[in-house]
Amino acid sequence: MTTTLKITTVGNSAGVVLPKELLETLRVGKGDTLYALETPNGIELTPYDPDFAAQIEIAQRVMREDRDVLRKLAE
């Protein structure tokens, strides 16, 4: 999907209006947060917080590796 976006003035700042179709593709709406990530291919817009995703990955690894200890603690 290729979409052309135009930068517009919003108060003293600049902003971009995202078309309805793009919002649906990202599964976001008014009031949601988007993250702009710099990648080798340019800027990626995503609704997923990369820091939170990294924390979840670490937690899942700990739960896998220490499953028996966590089970004992839960008793």
Token pair 């995703």: residue: 53
Residues 4-41 have pLDDT tens digits of 899 999 999 999 999 999 999 999 999 999 999 899 99
Give CA torsion, residues 6, 9, 13, 16, to 10 deg.
Answer: -30
In the chain, domain spans: 7-74
Contacts 24+ apart (CB under 8 A), 1-5: 1/25
What is the model's pLDDT at position 59?
85
39-69: pLDDT as tens digits: 999 998 888 887 877 788 888 888 888 888 8
* Whole-Å CA distances, 29 to 16, 43, 72: 14, 20, 42
